[in-house]
Structure 1
Amino acid sequence: MSDDDNSPISARAAKQLFAEFKSAPALVLAVSGGPDSVALMWLAARWRRSLARGPELNVVTVDHGLRTEAAREAREVKRLATELGLAHRTLRWRGAKPTTGLPAAAREARYRLLAQAARSAGASHVLTAHTRDDQAETLLMRLLRGSGIAGLSAMARLSMRDGIVLARPLLDVPKSQLIATLKRARIGFVEDPTNRDASFTRPRLRALLPQLAAEGGDIRTFARLSARLARANAAVEVLTDGAERFLRLRDRGPAPQPGVRSFEASSFASLPEEVRLRLLLRAINAHGHEGPPELGKVEALLAALDQAVELSMTGRPRIGANDRTLLKQTLAGALISLAGGRIHIAPAPARRSKAGSRGE
């Protein structure tokens, strides 16, 4: 994009933003009515008109039912979409809303509804309007939570969600350029008041950005840091893929039971710590049934496992030691154990309810 963060996006630049989607059968554009998503819709419509053949564009607005103004904003998006010659649907998040963790729950509901809309429209991608500003804010939020390298990579340009490709074509575009684009085109937009609500984390961090920028930590710098961390994360993932192949080649033990991941403890111990951590994460995600585990809990498990492996390799042998279970823990619905010089990860037994344990 242009180095001038306040210049409108040209037709040529927009063509580059959307070029990879030219052969898609259909696309869903997630449009809330705010400046970022309205700019996404306007730029995509202009790009599509420049093509002899291209994907069908479907605009979807998700009404979370949290603000009375949302219905009116959805109607305004529909009006603009119709003017641009695009189909529009409004989807509503129905049912009870949680009293805590509302932003995360609303985000999950939005992506679920968007994926459903994509499948119904025969679309291969859902396009969202996340910008460079959003990327910087996401990095800061995850930094304060103590996220690992994968989390600090923030948002990827392309990712899979519910069988649909989630694409963020504006991820390297500053919000100021999108606003400049809409002003030149004389396209109106709304501002969601929750974006300034200090009861939520993201708006509070957003308010700090001018102070951080004065110290050299501007949005461009944070986005660049996120890209570099994403590059490092991709490299570690390649190393972890190689480590899995290494463990299989070095394995001289019996074939594991179906549904169980198993590898030699000594070979596992020879790998770098970050790689061992990711191997555990992969196995737990594959065999657990309670969702992704917290990184801190996996780190604690790895520390206990490393200690048990070291004991098994350096401790004084005793009768039956080779068959003794040196560690047995459950995490995120997976059972992790160390016995006979091997690490095993399998689905954990279902938890018994308190009522069931009393025989009621």
Structure 2
Amino acid sequence: MSDDDDSPISAREARRLFAGLRDAPALVLAVSGGPDSVALMWLAARWQRSLARGPQITVVTIDHGLRPEAAREAREVKRLAAALGLPHRTLRWRGEKPKTGLPAAAREARYRLLAQAARTAGASHVLTAHTRDDQAETLLMRLFRGSGLAGLSAMAPFTERDGIVLARPLLDVSKSQLIATLRRARIGFAEDPTNRDTAFTRPRLRALLPLLAAEGGDARNLARLAARLARANAAVEVLADGAERFLRLRDRGDAPQASVRSFEAATFAALPEEVRLRLLLRAINALGHEGPAELGKVETLMSVLDRAIAGPVAAANGRPVLKQTLAGALISLAGGRIQIAPAPARRRKGR
């Protein structure tokens, strides 16, 4: 994009933003009514009109039922979508809302409803209006939570969720450019007050960005860092893939079982630490039944495992040297082999 963060996005730049989506059968745009998503809708509509034959576009607004203004904002999005020649749907998050973890629960509900809308519309992609500013904030949130390399890669331009591809075509565009684009087009937009509510983490971090920018940590540099970390993460994933194949080749020749993963302990211990960690994470998440494993807990498990492998009884046969459950998976070390399998279901209290 242009180096001038206050310049409107040109038609040529817009075509480049959406170029990879030209052959999609249909697209769903997630539009809340705020400046970022309204700009996404306006740019996508202009791009679609420039094509001789482009994907069908449906605009979807999610009303979380958390603010009284949301219904009015959805009606305004519908009005603007109609003016741009785009069909619009409003979907509502119904049911009781949680008292804690509300932002995460609302996000899960939003993506679930968007995936349903995409399937109904025959769309292969859901487009969201995440910007460079959002990318910087995401990096900071994950940094302060102690995320690993994968988490610090922040948001990817394309990710798969519930069988639908989430596309973020504005991920390298600044929010100020989107606002400049709307002002030139004389298009209004809503402002969500929760974006300034310091009861939530993201608005508090957003308020810190000007201070960080004064020290060189502006959104552009933070987003660049996320991209570099994503590049390194992709390289480590390739190494982990190769290591997993290598460990299987060194297996004893037993027929592979879908419900068990087994590694030769000595060969596993010789791998780089980050690769070992990823292999454990993959196995636990694939075979466990209690949700994704926490990175810190897997790191602790790996430290215990490393000590057990190096210990004087590591080569003993018979009884396991180590036996531990994590995230619904059972990890054991016996006879010089590490084995990960589903853990027995927990007994309910009172039984």
Same fold by TM-score, threshold 0.5 exceeded?
Answer: yes
- Structure 1 length-normalised TM: 0.96
- Matching of residues 104-123 of structure 1 within 5 Å: 104-123=104-123
Is the contact made by 2:314 and 2:336 (CA closer than 8 Å) also made in structure 1?
A: no
Provide the rounded CA distance (Å) in 2 between the counterparts of 1:193 and 1:254.
60
Alpha-carbon deviations, 1:283-329, whole Å to 9, x = none?
A: 01110111111100000111111111111xx4497xxx312201111
Aligned to 1:66: 66
Please give the residue correspondences for 1:1-360 in structure 2 after superposition, counting only pairs within 5 Å.
Answer: 1-252=1-252, 254-311=254-311, 314-315=312-313, 321-356=316-351
AA aligned to 2:239 is L
Moved more, 342-351 or 10-19: 342-351
1:258: Cα distance to partner? 4.3
Could you tell me how far apart the structure 2 residues matched to 1:122 and 1:255 are? 40
Unaligned runs of 5+ in 2: none
Q: Deviations over 1:35-84 (max 9, x none)?
A: 00000000000000000101000000000000000000000000000000
AA aligned opposite 2:32: S
Structure 1: give runs of 5+ residues left out of the alignment: none
What CA distance in whole angstroms lies between the structure 2 residues aligned with 1:128 and 1:72? 21
TM-score relative to the length of structure 2: 0.98
Paired residues of 1:253 and 1:264 also in contact (CA < 8 A) = no
Give CA deviations for 1:135-184 in whole Å, capped at 9, x if unaligned. 00000000000100000000000000000000000000000000000000
Give CA-to-partner distance per residue, 1:252-294, whole Å, 9 cap, x none: 2533544111111111111000000000000011101111111
Map Cα deviations across residues 97-138 of structure 1 (whole Å, 9 max, x no partner). Answer: 111110010000000000000001000000000000000000
Q: In 1, Cα distance between the equivalents of 2:258 and 2:122? A: 36
Length, aligned pairs only: 351
How many angstroms apart in 1 are the aligned matches of 2:98 and 2:307?
41
CA distance in 1, matches of 2:171, 2:141: 17
Give the percent of matched residue pairs that are identical in Structure 1 and Structure 2.
82
Report if the CA contact (8 A) 1:323-1:340 is conserved: yes
- With over 3 angstroms needed to count, the CA separation of the structure-2 counterparts of 1:316 and 1:176, relative to structure 1, is closer
